[in-house]
Amino acid sequence: LKTLEEIKTEIEAAVPGVGVEIVPNPSVSGQHSLRLTPGHAFETAKFLRDGMGFDYLSNATGVDWPEREVAEKVRVTRQVTRTVDGVEQAAEETVEETRKHTEPGCLEAVYHLYSSSQKQGPLVVRMRTVNRTDQVELPSLTPIWRSAEFQEREIFDLFGIVFTGHPDLRRLLMWPEFKDYPMRRDYVEPDDFEFEPTAHDAVLARAEAHKAASAATGQEGTGAGQ
């Protein structure tokens, strides 16, 4: 069994210019992961399958990391003037200040890889999009592992990550006319769930139009068979 560091070194040797970063997992599960830069993810995945034997992609899923405000405590030294015994003196004082900054949000795709013959795994591989609004493309790994086909469609459906190179990227669970991405953290449920345009509505509209047309030409009948 190889350690994550060994796998990282091998990837860096095999795929020139790749950016691999080990993301530590503080939980007791000890499942640390590798973060790939999306630009080289496809070649890296190909190497993981063909060169390292990770031929089985078990789980592919998305995670939404919205923009968040991080409060940080910093110690700052500043010049103050103090009055000691009626005399003003310049002195240095160290105080604790809370500074806030916003971390940009992103969407993340997480893949769990195993090897079917060497009983190795899980190797957790993750990729991040640039942001959550307009740059949400990631390379699709479906050409490498077919098991990602429906799971990436599900990520696209529920999180809104666009997988470039996916052979058939459509919504999987929600209907095609649906607009939002339900698994995002800031998703708001619609008040009215009855807004799905069904085939039945289209048929009814057509029937109404047909009735109006036949009334205009003075013909009788329901429209059937005419």
Partner 1 sequence: MMDTTAKTTIGAADERERPEGWNRPREMEPNGDGELLEVAMGPHHPSTHGVFRMDVALDGEHVVRLKPVFGYLHRNHEKIAEGVSYLASMPYTDRLDYMCSLTNNWAYALAVEKLTGQEVPERAEYLRVILGELTRVQNHASSIGFLIQEMGASGTPLMYAFREREKILDLFEGLTGSRMMCNYMRFGGCRVDASPAWLDGARKVVAGLPGFMDEMDRLLSSNEILMARTQGVGILRPELAVNAGVTGPMLRACGVNYDIRKVDGYGIYNRFKFRVPLGDHWDVYDRFMIRMLEIRESVKILEQALKEIPGGPVMDPKAKIRGFRPKPGEAYGRIESPKGELGFYLISDGGPNPYRYRVRPPSLVNLTVLEDMCLGHDIADVVLIFGSVDIVLGEVDR
Does position 20 interact with partner 1 (CB under 8 A)? The reply is no
Of 98, 117, 188, 193, the one binding partner 1 by CB under 8 A? 117
Task: Choose which of 22, 31, 91, 196 interacts with partner 1 (CB under 8 A).
Answer: 31
Q: CB-wise, 182 or 223, nearer to partner 1?
A: 182
CA distance 56 to 63: 21
50 binds partner 1 (CB under 8 A): yes
Q: List the one residue from 11, 34, 45, 54 that touches partner 1 (CB under 8 A).
A: 54
4, 35, 37, 61: which one binds partner 1 (CB under 8 A): 61
Judge contact between 35 and 21, C-beta under 8 A.
yes
Phi, psi (rounded to 5 degrees) for 153? -60, -40
Whether residue 27 contacts residue 122, with contact meaning beta carbons closer than 8 Å, is answered with no
Distance CA 99, CA 139 (A): 36
In degrees rounded to 5, what are phi and psi of residue 160? 85, 20
> Segment 67-106, which members bind partner 1 (CB under 8 A)?
none
Q: Which of 105, 130, 150, 210 binds partner 1 (CB under 8 A)?
A: 150
- 177 versus 220: smaller Cβ distance to partner 1: 177
Least gap, CB of 170 to partner 1 (angstroms): 9
- Under rule CB under 8 A, residue 145 binds partner 1: yes
Scored b (16 or more CB within 10 A) or e, 44-72 reads: bbebbbeebebbbbeebbbebeeeeeeee
Report if residue 135 touches partner 1, rule: CB under 8 A: no
DSSP H or E segment with residue 133: none
Decide if 159 contacts 62 (C-beta within 8 A): yes
53 part of the interface to partner 1, by CB under 8 A: yes
Query: Interaction with partner 1 in 206-225: which residues (CB under 8 A)?
Result: none
CB of 189 to partner 1, least distance (A): 10
63 touches partner 1 by CB under 8 A: yes
Residue 152's Cβ-count burial label (10 Å; 0-12, 13-18, 19+) is buried
Q: Residue 198 interacts with partner 1 (CB under 8 A)?
A: no
Closest separation in Å from C-beta 75 to partner 1: 25
